[in-house]
Structure 1
Amino acid sequence: MAGGTADECGSRLKPVTSELRTYSYLGPAGTFTEAALAQVPEARGQRWVPVRNVGEALADVVEGRSDAAVIAIENSVDGGVSTAQDALATVPGLRITGEFLVPVEFVLVGREGATLEDVSLVAAHPVAYAQCLQWLTRTVPAHAHLPAASNVASAIGLLDGTSDADAAISPPGILDHHDLTLLAANIGDNPDAVTRFVLVSRTTAPPPPTGADKTSLVVELPDDHPGALLEMLEQFATRGINLSLLASRPIGDALGRYRFVIDADGHIQDERMADALLGLRRFSPRVIFLGSYPRADRSIVHYPERYSDDVFVEARDWLRGLISGAPED
């Protein structure tokens, strides 16, 4: 495995005790999640453990089998990954410490000796199939689709005899781990498609602000009344904070009850962000702080000068002076 070592059995049976750090990721080897983990500087040369789903990855972290896990949280084509968002909202003791972007590229692979002309049945995860459908329609118009459990399982089925497909849609990394024939590369219909992954650890203090940061939250509305969502959004708007993600997810206890997954530009140590969190805490029955961490694109967060830290500090000092009876300038 590039950048790490995989222990698919032993390291999952007991808490981490070795000097190596352990990272869980959605496996098997060759997935987009593995490509995201390869971007984590501190994970290089450490132990990488493939898991079968997001819940298993986060359980590894909470129960101490792994030091951190990488999970997909958002896709530029399909939107938020609901299973990951729901897990982060309901599993306590987790903190996002970083994010990483992976271009969504797909290849068509076959067994040794296969050619593109041989293809009539294509194995693919339904999401991957949908993102390659235009290319398939143009190039293999008479094909049929065989749904697969994952992007990597579609290809492995060709090798272990469990699939009747002639070819499979998979991530490019599959070719680094399995003897497959590349039939076509870059077959995705959207060349700009990107998946965002986050690095999740047990609860810890956020890394220091860099000026190019993002804060992730989960917020529940207090009740269902006209303007409730607007009241929540005003906590950010009145402090000059831009939201890069706002997704609703059902809480599950009744119809019409939703929580909101939010990514806000800035760091919890920024005065404007801290003030917004205080406002949310007063407004919402439940606010989950998922973390403040550097943006993957390292883009500096810009905001109007009237929302700078100095303005918030000066206003607070002014109020303290009024309360203390200090003479005004």
Structure 2
Amino acid sequence: MSETAAPPTYSYLGPAGTFTWEALRQVPDAEGATWRSVSNAGEAFADVVTGRSVGAMIAIENSVEGGVSATQDALATVPGLRIVGEYLVPVNFVLVARHGTTIEDVRTVSAHPVAYAQCRRFLESALPSHGHIPAASNVAAAAGLLTSELAEAAVAPPSITEHHDLAVLAESIGDNPNAVTRFVLVSRTLGLPPKTGADKTSIIVELPDDAPGRLLEMLEQFATRGVNMSLIESRPIGDELGRYRFVIDLDGHVHDERVADALLGLRRFSPNVMFLGSYPRADKRPVEFVPQYSDDVFTDARDWLRGILAGEPPVA
């Protein structure tokens, strides 16, 4: 009699109700799986590396705050990880409190530091004399109201009342109504998602040395092949002052000839290039590029050179 296989496990920055939890809800394969709540990106990546989880959902970029440095640094230092998908979650917040509390009663607000920064305009206007208690997560800030009286209110995701019995004092308190956080699903899977025409490729690159013009040389690998960068951020390597690595997102898939050729040029240039994955864009927007950098152009150029090396007569 065969045993039923246990469902796969996915790790996410919890507890339930966080924006990371919302992102994981977008993954079809995660439906019916076991969801493991973790407290930081390092723990999530460790789950994947050890095989405890088949994937981990991690925030990598925010439209207001920029790249998430903890995620970028972990991807650069933990070997064997691949990004297999990205997901976008609109970021908005509500101010919640224990039932019976009014906004006039609020003296101290509990909030994750990033959430607090994104709601500062509202908080300073509505609660000019409030104090702030940092929380480990947006959900933890709200849940803490039910176990402690250190704060009268908390900044939390709009879905928080689905998980905790709290009253909403104010809605849509984020300073930027268009704020979005980009999440990535990370796994040990080395196979590439199929090319869709609306893809993104993520890499991490170190410069070969500190000679003048090295950054320009790196950027030329993409410019001369018509590859657009949708993100480039520097992070300190940490071995000595002034040494940086670059976290880069490219428009396109590694199966696109222009992207593959750019990566080959980059690998010849840099002593350390980490390929993090090619995966479908969350917004499904087709990648635009100049026709002179189409796959056919690169293929024709290779065939032309192959003919020369093979001693074939020129084609009329």
> Is TM (by shorter chain) over 0.5?
yes
Shift of 1:171: 1.1
Match of 1:14 in 2: none
Aligned residues: 312
Structure 1, unaligned runs of 5 or more = 1-16
Matched, 1:106 2:72: no
Match of 1:307 in 2: 293
Shift of 1:130: 1.4
Match of 2:182 in 1: 196
Match of 2:6 in 1: 19
Partner letter of residue 138 of structure 2? Answer: N
Match of 1:78 in 2: 65
Match of 2:162 in 1: 176
Shift of 1:18: 3.8
Secondary structure (helix, strand or coil) at the match of 2:26 reads coil
Shift of 1:203: 3.6
Matched, 1:157 2:144: yes
Q: Equivalents in 1 of 2:104, 2:28: separation in Å?
A: 42
Q: Equivalents in 1 of 2:129, 2:51: separation in Å?
A: 50
Matched, 1:147 2:134: yes
Q: Equivalents in 2 of 1:143, 1:259: separation in Å?
A: 39
Partner letter of residue 116 of structure 1? Answer: I
Matches within 5 A, 1:244-263: 244-263=230-249
Secondary structure (helix, strand or coil) at the match of 2:232 reads strand
RMSD value, Cα: 1.1
Q: Equivalents in 1 of 2:77, 2:124: separation in Å?
A: 41
TM-score, normalised via structure 2 length:
0.96
Match of 2:266 in 1: 280
Q: Equivalents in 2 of 1:113, 1:322: separation in Å?
A: 82
Partner letter of residue 220 of structure 2? Answer: E
Structure 1 runs of 4+ with >6 Å offset: none
Shift of 1:146: 2.2
Matched, 1:63 2:18: no
Shift of 1:300: 0.2
The range that moved more, 169-178 or 75-84, is 169-178
Secondary structure (helix, strand or coil) at the match of 2:76 reads helix
Q: Equivalents in 1 of 2:6, 2:108: separation in Å?
A: 47
1:214-253 Cα offsets, whole Å, 9 max, x none, are: 0000011000011100101111000000000101011111
The range that moved more, 289-298 or 175-184, is 175-184
Match of 1:166 in 2: 152
Shift of 1:143: 2.1
Secondary structure (helix, strand or coil) at the match of 2:220 reads helix
Q: Equivalents in 1 of 2:232, 2:299: separation in Å?
A: 29
Match of 1:316 in 2: 302
Match of 1:216 in 2: 202
TM-score, normalised via structure 1 length:
0.93
Match of 1:92 in 2: 79
1:77-124 Cα offsets, whole Å, 9 max, x none, are: 111100100000110111000000111111100012222222121111
Shift of 1:164: 1.2
Q: Equivalents in 1 of 2:159, 2:75: separation in Å?
A: 27
Q: Equivalents in 2 of 1:157, 1:220: separation in Å?
A: 42
